[in-house]
Amino acid sequence: MKFGWLTLAHSPGAEDDGAAIDQQLAQACYADELRFDGIWLTEHNFTGEAVYNDPIPFAAAVAMRTSRIRLGFAVIQLALRHPTRLAVQLALLDNLSRGRVDIGVGRGTLYNEYEFMGYGLRSDDSRERADEALAVLVGAFTQEPFEHHGKYFHVTMPQLRPRPVQRPHPPIWRSVVAPASFRECGRLGAPILTQRLALPRILERLTLYEEGLEEGGHDAATRTRLRRDAALWRHVYVADSQAQAEDELGAVLVHTRQHMLHARQAYNPADFVVDPALLNPFNDPRVSDGEAVRHSLDNGALYGTPERVAEQLAEIRDAGVHHVLAQMSFGHAPHERLMASMRLFAEKVMPRFRD
Per-residue pLDDT of the chain (355 residues; tens, 9 = 90+): 999 999 999 998 999 999 999 999 999 999 999 999 999 999 999 999 999 999 999 999 999 999 999 999 999 999 999 999 999 999 999 999 999 999 999 999 999 999 999 999 999 999 999 999 999 999 999 999 999 999 999 999 999 999 999 999 999 999 998 899 999 999 999 999 998 888 888 989 999 999 999 999 999 999 999 999 999 999 999 999 999 999 999 999 999 999 999 999 999 999 999 988 889 999 999 999 999 999 999 999 999 999 999 999 999 999 899 999 999 998 889 999 999 999 999 999 999 999 7
Q: For the stretch 56-95, what's the b/e string if a residue is b when 16 or more beta carbons lie within 10 angstroms of its beta carbon? A: bebbebbbeebeebbbbbbbbbbbbbebbebbbbbbbbbe
pLDDT score of 331: 80
pLDDT score of 259: 95
C-alpha dihedral over 337, 343, 346, 349, to 10 degrees? -70
pTM: 0.97
C-alpha dihedral over 162, 168, 173, 174, to 10 degrees? 100
pLDDT score of 195: 87
Q: Which CATH class is domain 2-248+300-353?
A: alpha beta
Pairing of strands 154-157, 146-149: antiparallel
Strand partners, 192: 174
Q: How far is CA 335 from CA 30, 129, 277, 340, in A?
A: 12, 37, 35, 9
pLDDT score of 42: 97
Q: How far apart are the first and last CA of the chain?
A: 7
Euclidean distance between CA atoms 3 and 38, whole angstroms: 7
pLDDT score of 15: 95
